[in-house]
Amino acid sequence: MTSAVLAASGGVKQVICISWGTKYGAPFINRLYAMVRRNITPPFTFTCFTDNRADLNPEILCEDLPPLDVENMPVRTKGIWPKARLWGPKLGKLSGPVLFLDLDLVIVGSLDSFFEVGEPDDVILSRNQTTPFERLGQTSLFRFPVGKLVSLQEKFRADPQGVADKYEFEQRFVTRNAPGGAKFFPRRWVLHFRQDCRWPFPLNYFLTPRLPANARVILFPRDFHPQFAVEGRFGLKGRAAPPLDHILHMFDPERRRNKSLFRYLRHYIRPTPWVADHWRE
């Protein structure tokens, strides 16, 4: 039986992503598409809004970046505000509910359930695991009907820097201003690699990061790319090293990079093969 959510999009699961500039590009987009294809029951579409279609899998539906009409984007902000392009009245040829996915997440289970919960007109976000005492969503994965967030785009366009300064992150802006209020997917469906998968010190030196049961998607925010987990590197500036080597260099200023001793010891992960198993074309 087709859910009301799917009925609103003609029975088709509509997945979207967005890419601009050179930070990610075709390798990330193609991997994301391949993960979606392996973890969704057809029919589905995968649409990428992008300024560069070079080397993309021909099965990906490509659309130009939606207009935003903001002359000066916010500066000195942690938010990814170009995502506001998706909040306009139109998204290419799409209509009805769409599921947005960030380019640097890893899909480890079926996406079908994300099209079965809630109502077609709902804005449903994944839970932000890093702020347990704030009712905050995560826009690395969220579902919304095309055109539902126009009022947010209008508010942002009227004062981009002011909105960014007030809310800091675009996900906080969406959570607090979504028309009708934001709802959330079940907490254990979408997990945070550093929060939910890696082990605390000292177990991080002995155990490979775990893949929790019932997880469907693992997030890798703040420049902690999946490839770093595969290699056993803790973030962009981390280096892969055997556990003992990492410990023996805890008094090396070049390796510590101004971290406290405890933080340095915590910032270690063993290579994570299950990420490579899923994060592939």
Per-domain residue ranges for the chain?
4-185, 190-278
Looking at residue 3, what is its pLDDT? 87
Give me the percent of the chain exceeding a pLDDT of 70. Answer: 100
pLDDT tens digits for range 181-222: 999 999 999 999 999 999 999 999 999 999 999 999 999 987
Residue 262: C-alpha distances to residues 22, 248, 256, 266 (Å): 35, 14, 10, 6
* Pairwise CA distance, residues 233 & 74, whole Å: 31
pLDDT at residue 256, as a whole number = 85
Please write the tens of the pLDDT for every residue from 30-78: 999 999 999 999 999 999 999 999 999 999 999 999 999 998 999 999 9
| C-beta separation of 190 from 125 below 8 A | no
**pLDDT (tens digit, 9 = 90+) per residue, 128-168?**
978 878 899 999 999 999 999 999 999 999 999 999 999 99
Question: What is residue 91's three-state secondary structure?
Answer: strand
Q: Which residue would you say has higher pLDDT here, 238 or 175?
A: 175
- Round to whole Å and give the CA distance between 45 and 15: 6
Cβ burial 181-199 (10 Å sphere, 16+ → b, else e): ebbbbeeebbbbbbebbbb
Does the pLDDT of residue 1 top 60, yes or no? no
Q: What are the tens digits of pLDDT across the range 89-137?
A: 999 999 999 999 999 999 999 999 999 999 999 999 999 978 878 899 9
Note the pLDDT of residue 9.
Answer: 95
Supply the mean pLDDT for the chain.
94
- Tell me which CATH code domain 4-185 carries: 3.90.550.10
The CA distance from 259 to 208, in Å, is: 23
∠ CA 60-64-69, rounded to 5°: 150
Quick one: pLDDT at residue 226?
Answer: 96
CA distance 267 to 240: 11
Looking at 59-159, list the stretches that DSSP marks H as alpha helix, in order from N- to C-terminal side: 150-158
- Reference 222, options 65, 87, 105; nearest CA is 105
pTM over 0.85: yes
